[in-house]
Amino acid sequence: MAKIGIFYGSSTGNTEAVANQIKDAFGDADIFEINADALTNIASYDVVLLGSSTWGFGDLQDEWEDVLDSLDGLDLTGKKVSFFGTGDQFNYDETFCDAMGILYEALQNSGANFIGKVLTDSYQFSASRAVVDDQFVGLALDEDNQNEMTDDRIQAWVQQLKSEIA
């Protein structure tokens, strides 16, 4: 069984809550709030899920910002990596869930095998740094406007990840 590690940064609790829902949907996964110490744990996992909310206009969540430079040197060769993010597609429709894109970009030289891409169909936004080749690089969640869709989105994504991990 692949070891799954969930690493999240959350300023007002939304990403923390969805990170725990993702953990519950997997059943067997470890969860860490991101900081320099937590980052050293990434090496022990086969599957790594990184979650961040987006702040400012398209900025990483603060605790992720603090470790961003360290992501550059990570060796994730042989690991499967995906992202989840919370954002607000109506008030920030040009920077929706940009933080997922920032994390994805930071790991381009890490050797990671990226999994868990998601179609953009059920969202309404103009632009997102997290969209690459017409798909989100991970799971975008909008607790501000589409909270009622979160459960289903998480269940579907975790099923998708399980099949991509198998």
Ligand X SMILES: Cc1cc2nc3c(=O)[nH]c(=O)nc-3n(C[C@H](O)[C@H](O)[C@H](O)COP(=O)(O)O)c2cc1C
Residue of 4, 6, 7, 15 that binds ligand X (CB under 6 A): 15
Contacting ligand X (CB under 6 A), which of 10, 21, 110, 150? 10
Residues 162 and 154: their CA atoms lie apart, in Å, by 12
Q: Quick check: 21 binds ligand X (CB under 6 A)?
A: no
Residue 61 contacts ligand X per CB under 6 A: yes
Nearer to ligand X, 76 or 154 (CB): 154
CA-to-CA separations, 55 to 86, 97, 146, in angstroms, rounded:
10, 9, 18
Backbone angles phi, psi at 120, to 5 degrees: -95, 0
Whole-angstrom distance, CA of residue 157 vs CA of residue 33? 21
Is residue 147 part of the contact set for ligand X (CB under 6 A)?
A: no
Binding site for ligand X (CB under 6 A): 10-15, 53-58, 61, 86-88, 92, 95-98, 143-144
